[in-house]
């Protein structure tokens, strides 16, 4: 009895020491995963800002240049002497050239003013969408109180599983030391014309879709790689007849 009690006490002490050794490792792993998630979403948020900056920076530059052009046109168009009587002394050709120049300045003024308006609208839309994505789509995944609590294990948790508390070293892991189990040899497969390939049954033909000739409903549904040569030849002949 004393030997059994001593052995049980040794197993308890050994497994508890292992548990206390694993607790900070699991906690560090959980916190590392949380840090990786934070860094990952920080990269996402930086990518959103970079993509929005492509529009914001270019449109901002265009708006500054167009504003300077607009100011130049306004200064030239309205910088004249209203008491000058030269306009009344112009002939028909000079009046036509003056009118064409006036229309050109007015058109430039209109298009530059429109471009500034659209630039302001583009800046507002780009910044609004960037803010919306940062707030709604790529929010920083802050860990909840439950996740932090789960990562911080207590020593009393060791007492919840009696099997692990009295686990015998090495004996419980004989299956691991024995190495991977070799699967049994597969049985003989039926002929190809009457079976489906094993890889196809495991889902490898997902993406190829079920193949079936439109003019024949009796062909087997399977991957293109598992259709027999006779079926392919027969399908090709029917396709030629249909053409």
pLDDT tens string 25-59:
888 888 888 899 999 999 999 999 999 999 899 99
**Domain boundaries of the chain, sorted by first residue:** 2-81+92-177, 192-242
Instruction: State the number of CA atoms in the 13 A half-sphere of 49 facing the CB.
Output: 8
Residue 169 Ramachandran class (φ > 0 left, ψ -120 to 50 alpha, else beta): beta
* Alpha-carbon span 126 to 131, nearest angstrom: 9
22 or 159: which leads in pLDDT: 22
pTM for the model: 0.52
* Alpha-carbon span 164 to 172, nearest angstrom: 10
* Alpha-carbon span 234 to 175, nearest angstrom: 52
| Tens-place pLDDT, residues 134-190 | 999 888 888 888 887 777 777 677 677 767 677 777 776 665 555 555 555 544 444
**Cβ atoms of 69 and 34 closer than 8 Å:** no
Using alpha carbons, select from 125, 109, 139 the residue that is nearest to residue 45: 139
**Given this model, what pLDDT does residue 201 score?**
41
* Alpha-carbon span 204 to 91, nearest angstrom: 86
Helix (H) or strand (E) holding 113: helix 92-132
């Amino acid at each position: 009895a004393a030997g059994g009690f001593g052995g049980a006490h040794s197993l308890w002490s050994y497994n508890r020491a292992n548990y206390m050794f694993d607790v900070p490792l699991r906690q560090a792993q959980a916190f590392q995963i949380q840090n990786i998630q934070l860094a990952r979403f920080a990269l996402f948020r930086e990518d959103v800002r970079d993509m929005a900056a492509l529009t914001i920076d270019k449109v901002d530059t265009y708006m500054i240049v167009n504003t300077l052009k607009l100011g130049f046109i306004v200064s030239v168009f309205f910088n004249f002497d209203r008491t000058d009587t030269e306009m009344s002394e112009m002939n028909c050709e000079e009046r036509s050239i003056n009118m064409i120049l006036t229309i050109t300045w007015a058109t430039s003024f209109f298009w530059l003013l429109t471009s500034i308006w659209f630039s302001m609208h583009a800046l507002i839309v780009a910044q609004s969408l960037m803010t919306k994505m940062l707030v709604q789509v790529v929010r920083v995944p802050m860990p909840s109180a439950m996740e932090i609590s789960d990562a911080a294990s207590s020593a009393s948790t060791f007492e919840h599983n009696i099997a692990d508390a009295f686990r015998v070293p090495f004996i419980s892991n004989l299956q691991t030391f024995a190495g991977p189990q070799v699967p049994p040899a597969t049985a003989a497969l039926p002929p190809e014309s009457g079976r489906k390939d094993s890889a196809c049954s495991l889902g490898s033909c997902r993406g190829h879709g079920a193949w079936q000739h439109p003019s024949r409903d009796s062909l087997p549904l399977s991957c293109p790689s598992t259709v027999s040569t006779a079926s392919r030849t027969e399908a090709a002949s029917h396709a030629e007849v249909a053409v």
